[in-house]
Each structure stands twice: as C-alpha cells, then as structure tokens.
Amino acid sequence: MAATHLFTCTCGVQKKTTNHWILALVEHGSIRFLPWDSALALRDDVIVLCGERCAAKLLSQSLGDWKHADALIARQVNTIDNIAAYN
C-alpha cells in the first residue's frame, strides 16, 4: 500500500482530496504563491496554505516583517551617519 502524506495548513486545517490549496515560497524579501503541486508541497522551503484567507494572512505578515526590517536598517544607517558626523 502506498503511503499518503497529510498536508496541514498553517491554521491547522488538513487537506482533503477536493480542496483547492495554495503553496507559498518565501525567500529573503520576496514571496511567491504557486498552484497546488503535491511534490512541491513536500519541500521544506514551501508553505502549504488552505486558501485565500491564509495566503492573505501570510502576505500581510511578510509585508509587516519587511517593513520592520526596513525600519531597522534605516535606524542603523542613521546611527552610522551620526557616528561618522562626530568623527
């Protein structure tokens, strides 16, 4: 008998055969949404999402993370500029 992998969304919902799920590939500074592919869903760097709501939540989270990272970088640059001005 062939083994069947259980796919679970970030919200905890388990995939059924008729669900239309989405995959997300999040890399540094980017996110790509992909149509369902069982083989691709097994990859460690792919996030399994049950639908548009969870995809939108992931996108919103990523945008917030990027905005926060940009703010940290801006503060570091400002600090470096201030240090350089005093030298």
pLDDT of 16: 82
CA distance 42 to 5: 9
For 5-21, write each residue's pLDDT tens digit. 789 998 988 888 767 89
For 39-86, write each residue's pLDDT tens digit. 999 999 999 999 999 999 999 988 888 777 666 666 776 666 666 666
* Residue spans per domain, the chain: 22-86
The stretch 31-44 carries a mean pLDDT of 93
Instruction: Give one word for 12, left, alpha or beta, with left for phi > 0 and alpha for psi -120 to 50.
Output: left
pLDDT at 36 over 60: yes
pLDDT of 55: 94
C-alpha 60: how far from its chain's center? 9
